[in-house]
């Protein structure tokens, strides 16, 4: 068992020193455990493969923040991975996320009207381009950034974190952007 820990510690040290290729053997070592743990969690919009991918990100974060003086890596990594899964599960049902029942799979959308003439399609594309240009001129850079993340389904807290601003600034920018869009 000690040999396994030493090999694991060597991989961790190599990764911390910038050798990202050392992460692959560590992934292989932990993939079964991540897969096993991932089946315990459910979240809207996530399947088991998504949780496995998130688990691998949790493993990466664990490697980067691991302090060998505090705990065994395996225990620390499992805690990091589980915390990531819990965070995802909480977010999917929390305030600020788009309820699943209000989403429509992109495959179910019929955006193109095949009965339109080529001239109508050109006019539609031109009006859409005009609308996007209007958005660029009417919305500030922050309002556009916040609105893009909002449309992608990010919560205000996530948006604030991604943009490096406060949640209140996100709320204000989103309110201004919505008001401007209503005017357009």
Q: Give the domain CATH number at 130.
A: 1.10.10.10
Residue 105 confidence class, pLDDT cut points 50, 70, 90: low
Domain of 140? Answer: 106-183
Residue 83 lies in a domain: yes
- Contact between 67 and 21 under an 8 Å Cβ cutoff? The reply is no
Domain termination site, one of 93, 115, 132: 93
Neighbours of 30 (CB within 10 A): 22
Residue 101 lies in a domain: no
Say yes or no to pLDDT of 41 above 50.
yes
Q: Quick one: average pLDDT of 4-18?
A: 82
Average pLDDT, the chain: 78
pLDDT digits (tens, 9 = 90+) for 125-180: 777 677 667 777 888 889 888 888 887 778 889 999 989 999 999 989 888 888 88
Q: Which residues contact 93 (CB under 8 A, 6 or more apart)?
A: 43, 44
Domain termination site, one of 37, 66, 93: 93
- Give residue 169's pLDDT: 92
Half-sphere exposure in the Cβ direction for 23 (13 Å, CA) = 16
| Tokens found for residue 103 | 């989403």
The CATH number linked to 86 is 1.10.1740.10
Among 14-23, 68-77, 99-108, 150-159, which is the least confidently predicted range? Answer: 99-108
Q: What's the start-to-end Cα distance of the chain, in Å?
A: 66
d(CA 163, CA 154): 12
Q: Is the pTM of this model over 0.75?
A: no
- Do 119 and 54 sit in the same domain of this protein? no
- Do 75 and 115 sit in the same domain of this protein? no
- Do 89 and 112 sit in the same domain of this protein? no
Residue 41 lies in a domain: yes
Residue 110 confidence class, pLDDT cut points 50, 70, 90: very low
């Amino acid at each position: 068992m000690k040999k396994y820990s030493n090999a694991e510690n060597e991989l961790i040290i190599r990764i911390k020193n910038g050798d990202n290729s050392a992460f692959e053997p560590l992934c292989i070592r932990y993939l079964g455990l991540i897969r096993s743990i991932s089946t315990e969690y459910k979240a809207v919009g996530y399947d088991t493969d998504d949780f496995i991918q998130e688990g691998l990100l949790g493993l990466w974060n664990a490697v980067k923040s691991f302090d060998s003086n505090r705990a065994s890596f395996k225990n620390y990594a499992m805690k990091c991975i589980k915390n990531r899964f819990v965070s995802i599960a909480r977010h999917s049902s929390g305030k600020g996320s788009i309820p699943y029942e209000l989403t429509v799979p992109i495959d179910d959308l019929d955006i193109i009207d095949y009965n339109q003439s080529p001239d109508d399609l050109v006019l539609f594309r031109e009006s859409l381009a005009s609308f996007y240009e209007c958005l660029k001129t009417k919305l500030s850079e922050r309002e556009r950034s916040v609105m893009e993340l909002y449309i992608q389904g990010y919560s205000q807290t996530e948006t604030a974190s991604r943009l490096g601003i406060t949640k209140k600034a996100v709320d204000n920018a989103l309110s201004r952007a919505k008001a401007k869009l209503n005017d357009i």
